[in-house]
Every structure is written in structure tokens, then in C-alpha cells.
């Protein structure tokens, strides 16, 4: 895939967007990033790999820990290509997906 496709893939999933949101507040350890999500650690690793592939995160060893930080510059490339319908359908599908998620959680 080209870099734009990697970026669009990286930002197309609500969990990855939430991870970007978390990292926009500052670097974090892997377990801190994973903590708010009801996901297996393996799944969070996969999300991080896609963000990594798109060049959106950086890892830096700090003693025994690895700190993960946001590298937002590549997002500029997305800005150039984002289409109005990209926004429209992503918004709609996120909302549709959320509807079923909430329905499933209801007793």
C-alpha cells in the first residue's frame, strides 16, 4: 500500500482514532493506551501496528519502559485528500456501528 492508503486505513477505525486522541494529550505506555478499551492486548497491538505503519506513532525507550507518542505530521497528507463523502460515510457508519454496540450492551 502507498503511504496515503496506510494513513486512511490508520484513521478509518474508531479505536485507532481514540488512540490518536489519547496520544494527542502526551506520550503513554502500552498498558495505559490499552486500559480504556474493552479489547484483548493483542488487538490493541494490531491497532498500534497500523498506526506505526502509517508513521503516526513513535516509540522511545525510557529505562525499562517504552513510551509511545503521536507523530501527527503525516495527517497533513490526509487533510489534502479527505473528501466530503469520506466524512459523511465515516460519520454515518460509526453511528450505525455504535447503535448495535449499545443495543448489545442493553440487558
Partner 1 sequence: MKKTKDTLDLSFERKIAAPQQEVFDAWLNPLVPGTPWSESKKLILDPKVDGLFYWVHESGCPHFGRFTKVQSPALIEHTWMSPNTLGVESKVSVRFRKKGKHTLMTLRHSGIPNTKKGRGHEWGWNYFLDAFYGAAGKVSIK
By C-beta, is 59 or 87 nearer to partner 1?
Answer: 87
CA pair distance 1, 52, nearest whole angstrom: 14
CA pair distance 29, 44, nearest whole angstrom: 12
Specify whether the backbone of 26 is left (phi greater than 0), alpha (psi in -120 to 50) or beta. Answer: left
Backbone angles phi, psi at 83, to 5 degrees: -105, 150
Residues found near partner 1 in the complex (CB under 8 A): 4-5, 8, 11-12, 17, 20-21, 24-25, 70, 72-73, 75-76, 78-87, 89-101, 103-104
CB of 37 to partner 1, least distance (A): 15
CB of 61 to partner 1, least distance (A): 23
- Please tell me what DSSP assigns to residue 22: H
By C-beta, is 64 or 102 nearer to partner 1?
Answer: 102
CB of 14 to partner 1, least distance (A): 8
Amino acid at each position: 500500500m502507498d503511504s496515503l492508503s496506510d494513513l486512511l486505513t490508520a484513521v478509518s477505525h474508531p479505536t485507532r482514532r481514540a488512540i490518536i486522541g489519547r496520544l494527542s494529550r502526551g506520550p503513554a505506555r502500552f498498558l495505559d493506551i490499552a486500559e480504556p478499551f474493552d479489547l484483548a492486548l493483542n488487538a490493541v497491538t494490531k491497532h498500534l501496528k497500523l498506526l506505526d505503519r502509517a508513521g503516526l506513532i513513535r516509540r522511545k525507550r525510557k529505562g525499562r519502559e517504552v513510551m509511545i507518542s503521536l507523530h501527527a505530521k503525516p495527517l497533513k497528507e490526509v487533510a489534502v485528500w479527505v473528501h466530503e463523502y469520506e466524512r459523511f460515510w465515516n460519520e454515518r457508519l460509526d453511528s450505525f456501528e455504535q447503535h448495535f454496540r449499545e443495543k448489545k450492551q442493553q440487558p
